[in-house]
Structure 1
């Protein structure tokens, strides 16, 4: 039996029909030259024919009375690959619009807890001689960084290579080596010890560190249309931007690339809310996860190794230059404090940041009636350094994260990098966030504003 990590358990406990707790990703591929109509279906059959499934993807969650309410993992010895693997085709004309509509429906359905917590969908019929692969995995099993690294293992720089395995058939899955090596008591003891090592002594010091990390007014964000009750339906939209454009802004302003990305989001959200006649006088804030994993993928906290900081998006600021400087100030302050803490101490800060959205997420009727701790989550997940990459001779064109939205946190923006581009994936509640795709237009406008600085 393998214990579920404490942060991982939060994603199991907080899941409802309206609030699915899985992360996903949409990968867009170009069919190899000369590929026939049967190419994608043949890939599907090859994936079904694998001899074995890695232990990571063959385990399911368990919560029995004998376990005293604690979650644990057990192996599924009779995994049904035909259930977890699906083959779909887009309705004509197979535009990105139809692709994102299908992805939205797939992302809005819960994973079956009686089975291993993942699904993979091969999607054929994308216009332009393309196909897609949508994958979703429960957040208790993998965080976004681990999921992306795992997907990279199925890719190669060799355009002629065939026989590349699917992620669920890779011999070594990265996420839970640390989790297996740490007993429940050992992890708890280390956490308690690290809490005692926070600046000064005791709980008061921990609270001071949390306050020092965040900008004034953190955990007191303005109420917006995003901070309302959600339904179980999702809408997904995605687009890519050349990294060169953001790099030019970074070089001119002294900002980091992440700051420029946040400024794009801040400008886009300002325009979007103005369209809805819903822009608050106070600036929006975003919870920004920070991975604690090292180069080899190891980190504290089981499947989820995250710290968090809260960034001021300065949506109340009309001038894009001043907006960017406010964002730079808030992220610099947060990163400075995080650098002074140990990995497990950072994990605690991360749990407090994520957990601060918990009351509205789990208590009926609370979402939209209280002051939100932040307005949305914005994640920047490092992508593969090498490019271009291929899967069974098919060139990878784009990879778009699809993430979690919470009751009271109806919008998520996740970004990853690949092939000199930033790939944005926007996930929102279908009812609470109207016309989500308009945010893509506003992201372009926001970048154009920054390029004029």
Structure 2
């Protein structure tokens, strides 16, 4: 039995039929040369034969389902691989539109808490000599950074490598007992660890005061619960709609070089311009600028140079999106300055302190299932926008080249839209996940993202 960290159990406690708490990914693959008509079905059968499963993918909540006692994990010793690994198809020749519709439906269903909290679907029938995979895993098990690193570690940069195993199966290792820095490492001092923990907790009060003082001192800094009420900050349903598209990273880097800003700043400015025009078209743009919650990874590397998988390690910056400003360059400048201030506020704090203070804006998400709460409380922020670094080079799955990877995330009660972005090779891949009922015409945002980037290019490049 393993005790859950509070950051993990929070995602289980907040889950309901209207609020699925899993993250996902859609991957597009090009069929390898010589692939026959049964390639995908044969691949599915091979996946079912992979019975060696990582411990992470055997975890399920311990105790009765649906009660307030699920604060520990237990291992499932009777894992049913056929339940978790599925095969689906589109009417040939399937278009991306049908693929996104199928993915939207799959992403809207809850994971079964009687079983380990993950599913994997391989999808055939796509046109242009392609197939796809959709995977989902509960946020209590993995955050987005861990999920993408796991994906990258299970694929190969070698197109001729035919030994790639699926994400839930551990790679075959021959150096387990000979890794540098492990054999002679001194055991951790438990008393020193407790002492350090007490000091960090004691410092939370001064750290919180510092955040508030810094925010009031800098007039443009953003505090939680200062965001305007918007069309996204409403009760949601469990049904999802998903839209995805990639943009060449060089276009975004060029805007960053011309403006002295980062790729992340330009990505946020693309979202700002798209959301501004989307809400203008619907007659729903607030008279105060939208505020984005931008997660930042607090995950560090182990002494052996690897990143531990599992759990959640996330801080949060609130960013002024300047959606009331019609000038795209002025919006980008405001976003850049807002992000710099947000990072500066956390400078010098420990991981525990950053995590604790970042949790303040997330409290309404954890208790958002209380009926009527979102209608009477101001939103801590308007939209979640995440940028998760992905693989830098093209990857292959037993010869099948991955053409794109698109993240699916979690709309929360009072947060009907989530934008998650990841990099892959020389592309920046956007995944937009929205409540099907409250975010109309989600696909339109993809065209507006292109318009927003074009406006920045015309103004700066």
Q: Same fold (TM over 0.5)?
A: yes
Q: 1:31 is matched with which residue?
A: 31
Deviation at residue 163 of structure 1 after TM alignment: 2.9
Give CA deviations for 1:78-114 in whole Å, capped at 9, x if unaligned.
0000000000001233100000000000000000000
Q: 2:388 is matched with which residue?
A: 381
Q: 1:256 is matched with which residue?
A: 262
Q: 1:54 is matched with which residue?
A: 54
CA distance in 1, matches of 2:235, 2:306: 35
1:219 aligns with 2:225: yes
Q: Which of 342, 354, 357 lines up with 1:346 in the alignment?
A: 354
The 1:70/1:37 distance shift into structure 2, 3 A limit, reads: closer
Task: List, as ranges, runs of 4+ consecutive aligned residues in structure 1 with deviation greater than 3 Å.
Answer: 67-70, 184-192, 200-214, 295-300, 356-359
CA distance in 2, matches of 1:207, 1:299: 33
Q: 1:102 is matched with which residue?
A: 102
- Secondary structure at 1:280 match in 2: coil
Q: 1:9 is matched with which residue?
A: 9
- Secondary structure at 1:148 match in 2: helix
Q: 2:425 is matched with which residue?
A: 419
Q: 5+ residue gaps in structure 2?
A: 174-186
The 1:203/1:446 distance shift into structure 2, 3 A limit, reads: closer
Q: 1:176 is matched with which residue?
A: none
Q: 1:318 is matched with which residue?
A: 326
Deviation at residue 164 of structure 1 after TM alignment: 1.0
1:147 aligns with 2:153: no
Q: 2:163 is matched with which residue?
A: 163
Q: 1:177 is matched with which residue?
A: none
Q: Name the Cα RMSD after superposition.
A: 2.6
CA distance in 1, matches of 2:338, 2:206: 26
The 1:201/1:318 distance shift into structure 2, 3 A limit, reads: closer
Give CA deviations for 1:256-294 in whole Å, capped at 9, x if unaligned.
110000000000000100111101111101111000112
Q: 1:44 is matched with which residue?
A: 44
2:391–2:423 Cα contact (<8 Å) kept: yes
Q: 2:176 is matched with which residue?
A: none
1:337 aligns with 2:312: no
Deviation at residue 354 of structure 1 after TM alignment: 2.3
Give CA deviations for 1:425-453 in whole Å, capped at 9, x if unaligned.
00000000000000000000000011012
CA distance in 2, matches of 1:271, 1:77: 52
Q: 5+ residue gaps in structure 1?
A: 174-180
Give CA deviations for 1:98-143 in whole Å, capped at 9, x if unaligned.
0000000000000000000000000011111001110000000000
- Secondary structure at 1:157 match in 2: coil
Give CA deviations for 1:220-272 in whole Å, capped at 9, x if unaligned.
21111111110110000100000000000000000111000000000000010
